[in-house]
Amino acid sequence: MELLGIDIGGSGIKGAPVDVDRGVLTAERYKLPTPKPSVPEAVAEVVARIVRKFNWTGPVGCTFPAVIREGVAYSAANVDKSWIGCNGQRLFEEKTGCRVLLLNDADAAGIAEMEFGAGRDHSGVVFVLTFGTGIGSAIFVNRQLFPNTELGHMEVRGKDAEWRASAYAKERDGLSYKRWAVRVNEFLGRLEFLFSPDLFIIGGGISRDHAKFLHLLKTRAPVVPAQFFNQAGIVGAALAARALVSPPSASG
């Protein structure tokens, strides 16, 4: 079965149809810049353009960098603050004419990694952390998602952890991988103290360079690279959208 996954980020919005039985894209992903300012109507129009690109009429899974409850955004990380209180799910449905399931972006990445990626053989307490413009987090306990954790906003040295340790912060401050890893270790150490996870999965675009920094991360729990890299949000959104597909009725 194919479903369309769309991943909304602070700098880009990308989508592709996904074979949800195998966790693979079935067409080349299509990416457009996130509009500036990233107000709801403008973002919704980009989502609609991606839907039209694939001539899509079925269910759509869509990520968003915010706390999402029943389709409503309750925060706005790296997007315009006018999103707070907006029912993005309903807005996207109106713009696209498709049924839409909206969820937190890191939760979607986590779903992909736990089903088909680095977490597929793991239970216990697993943290999926995405390092990009900010730091996204998804927590799984015995493979069940605890949604909307937003641990990148945990305070470290008086600032959000993502301000110090995101991939963007590495570039902004001109940090080597060694110096950046010091900041990441401080964040991971705080998470270990509070939650005692069994596994860390490190995702986001920077995970493509994991050979340059993974050995510098010092934690009690194993640390492994994500397998989906920047496709995680698209795949996870499509997997989540399976909830919109009614199971076939029992016959006889």
Give residue-wise pLDDT tens across range 54-78: 999 999 999 999 999 999 999 997 8
Map out the domains of the chain with their CATH numbers.
Answer: 2-107+234-244 (3.30.420.40), 122-226 (3.30.420.40)
- Tell me the backbone φ, ψ of residue 236, rounded to 5 degrees: -65, -35
What is the model's pTM? Answer: 0.93
In this structure, how many other beta carbons lie within 10 angstroms of the beta carbon of residue 124? 13
Residue 239 belongs to what H/E stretch? helix 232-240
Contacts of 138 (CB under 8 A, 6+ apart): 104, 106, 107, 109, 110, 111, 127, 128, 145, 147, 149
Over residues 194-219, mean pLDDT: 96
pLDDT digits (tens, 9 = 90+) for 13-55: 999 999 999 999 999 999 999 999 999 999 999 999 999 999 9
* Secondary-structure percent of the chain, ordered helix, strand, coil, rounded to 5: 40, 25, 35
Nearest-angstrom CA–CA distance, 141 and 173: 35
Question: SS in 3 state form for 129-165?
Answer: EEECCCEEEEEEECCEEECCCCHHHCEECCEEHHHHH
pLDDT digits (tens, 9 = 90+) for 116-158: 999 999 999 999 999 988 999 999 999 999 999 999 999 999 9
